[in-house]
Amino acid sequence: MSQYQKIVQLGLFLFMITMGYSEQNQPNVLLILTDDQGYGDLSLHGNPHLETPHLDALGRKSVRFDRFYVNSVCAPSRASILTGRYAVRTGVFSVTRNGEAIKPSEVTLGEAFKSSNYSTSFIGKWHSGTQYPCTPIGQGFDEFFGFTGGHINNYFDATLLRGAEPVKTKGYITDVLTDEAIGFISKKHKQPFFCHVSYNAPHSPYQVPDKYFDKYKQLKLKDKLAATWGMCESIDDNVGRLLKALEEQGLTENTIVLFLTDNGGVEGARFFNAGMKGRKTSTFEGGSRVPLFFHWPKAKWKPKVVEKLTAHIDLFPTLMDLCEITPPKGPKLDGISLVPLLKGESDSWSERVLCTHNGIDEKNRYPGAVRTERYRLNCLLPGPNAGSAAKNLDAQVGAWELYDMKNDPGQKKNLAEQMPEKVAELIKHYEAWIDDTFSEGRSRMPLPVGFSAHNPVSLHASQAFFDEPIRYKSGRGYANDWLTGWDSEKAKVWFEMAVAQDGVYEIGLEYACEADGVTFKVSADQSSCEAKASVALAPEMPIANRVPSNYIDRDWGKLKVGTIKLKKGLTHLKIEAQGNQGKSVVDFKSIALKRLQ
């Protein structure tokens, strides 16, 4: 190399540093995920009332995967997106009661990107574990801003978490999350970024700013539907803001943008579902077929619609390929890279068979489905508990149903009796798949306590075990629910914990009680503390719901109970309400443990 060439190269290098460019040419990644937005909740897919112009435009210039499948409920889908593995393998088999927590031994997208010198941020709904190290910070994300549970009750001026610290926000939550994402991608990073924006809309409760709600009410739609599609249009506007921020920062060319949703639609799917049968929780097509857009201008992919079968488990290996990342050593992936399809090399793509399992508890094998290029085999649960029951209902499972998806995409004609050999073939495939995915064991993980990165740590009512007559207020034990009916001192509440460090822990409770005379006793490892509770009515706090909702925030009573000594390892933390024999109904919300030494 001549002296002149060396001078030119040095000058170019210094210029790049001055302009804030990175020597590393890996692309940025912006992964946008929405909650309970169905395939039909986009005007691009033919919805006659909803307007989503920014997402439509993104879809038209992207590679659109039109036969892309996730789980029919949210937490399992999120686990597969984050790990590239079937959800049950990761420890996720439900949407609540800690059945949604990804095992710390799994390798997530956050950890994989971080290992390759990416700046990583998770913004919005996590729903993959509430206590560290199952939180975003514990799973490889440098920054976290959002909430860890399955839903949040208040979409206006919400209290969210930054890391592990609660912060009060101002404004509508979809706007707030977008502001955070724009702030993150607008930083002058010295390395590429991976930003996962996980909107909680249009999941209930039905809360949306007036301008969106009023627009759809003018169409004489019912309140739930007007709120749902209003939330979808709000998301669309905010996706437009994100894409504009990339453009303003000069990042569009080398940023991979993905858009997808976590399961089939809910309220919107009742009215428009692109001809599909089934909604969220269903093992029919409409329960798990969702949109996926892949856009990366630098790759010069030709915009197209891909109809090959693809799934959530494929995103991890695809992003590793595109970004040329070798992830940390971990469990074997179930997904396969979509790069050949992105490049238009569909002729080399092998025909696939995809299975779906709708997790309910640790044991259930059904409901489930098998999807081939032509057929869908479904196994359903009867009655109102289908898809969301809190206990194993395999004994009630119905007969397998078979549909020809090529000639009957709406699943109107069950061919099971006409094609028993095909049914038997696909059942055999499903049972072998279940045996394989269940082979790594399924159980509720004990709740991790005692990590310095998350101190104090709260354990929530939805994660508790308890005696009768105690019950969940909503009946299901979803996030933010509480225990009620505690009017007997013989009944107890307890938590299974994995204590990370020996120490003295300060104990605090959130509760409600209408009368004096109740003493809370907390015990574990032969150590205990107790304190008398005052009357705490815990009134409901106002929330701007468009329709009545079970999602309720209360101004809970707070009680410092004392301190106990905990030993490292597995233990049970037990809570008793002494002196409560029929005097008052106690409601229990959470217990906090702060390691003092």
Intrachain domains 24-347 and 356-438 with the same fold: no
Q: Given pLDDT bands bounded at 50, 70 and 90, which one contains residue 19?
A: very low
pLDDT, averaged across the chain: 93
Q: What is the pLDDT of residue 14?
A: 41
Residue 364: the pLDDT is 87
Hey, where are the domains in the chain? Answer: 24-347, 356-438, 447-595
Q: pLDDT tens for residues 395-434? A: 778 889 999 999 999 999 999 999 999 999 999 999 999 9
User: Which candidate, 21, 30, 23, places its Cα nearest to that of 319?
Assistant: 30
Of residues 363 and 532, more confidence is placed in 532
* pLDDT tens for each residue of 195-236: 999 999 999 999 999 999 999 999 999 999 999 999 999 999
Return the structure tokens found at 242. 């994100």
Looking at 1.10.3470.10, 3.30.300.10, 3.40.720.10, 3.40.47.10, the CATH number of the domain 24-347 comes to 3.40.720.10
Percent of the chain with pLDDT over 70: 94
Give the pair of three-digit tokens for residue 166: 């609660």
Angle at the Cα of 203 (from 198 to 207), degrees rounded to 5?
Answer: 110
Query: Residue 132: pLDDT above 60?
Result: yes
pLDDT at 360: 75
- Note the pLDDT tens digit of each residue in 52-109: 999 999 999 999 999 999 999 999 999 999 999 999 999 999 999 999 999 999 999 9
Q: Tell me the CB-side half-sphere exposure of residue 361, using CA atoms within 13 A.
A: 12
Whole-model pTM above 0.85? yes
**Cβ distance 375 to 401 under 8 Å?**
no
Question: Which of helix, strand or coil describes residue 121?
Answer: strand
The size of the chain, in residues, is 597
* Fold classification of 356-438 (topology level): Arylsulfatase, C-terminal domain (3.30.1120)
Distance between CA atoms of 557 and 43, rounded to whole angstroms? 46
State CA 66 to chain mean position distance.
Answer: 22
Sorting pLDDT into bands at 50, 70 and 90, what band is 388? Answer: very low
Judge whether residue 529 has pLDDT over 90.
yes
Interatomic CA distance for residues 304 and 258, integer angstroms:
15
End-to-end CA distance of the chain: 62
Residue 495 near residue 447, CB atoms below 8 Å: yes
Confidence of residue 361 (pLDDT cuts 50, 70, 90): confident
Q: Which of 320, 323, 261 is nearest to 293 (CA)?
A: 261
| pLDDT reported for residue 52 | 98
Architecture per CATH, domain 447-595, reads as Sandwich (2.60)
Share of the chain above pLDDT 90, in %: 85
* 442 sits in which H/E element: none
Average pLDDT (366-374) is 95
List b or e across 500-532, with b for residues whose CB sees 16 or more CB atoms inside 10 angstroms. Answer: beebebbbbbbbbbeeeebebbbbbbeebbebe
pLDDT-derived band at 382 (thresholds 50, 70, 90) equals: low
C-alpha closest to that of 143 among 101, 172, 185: 185
pLDDT of residue 467: 97
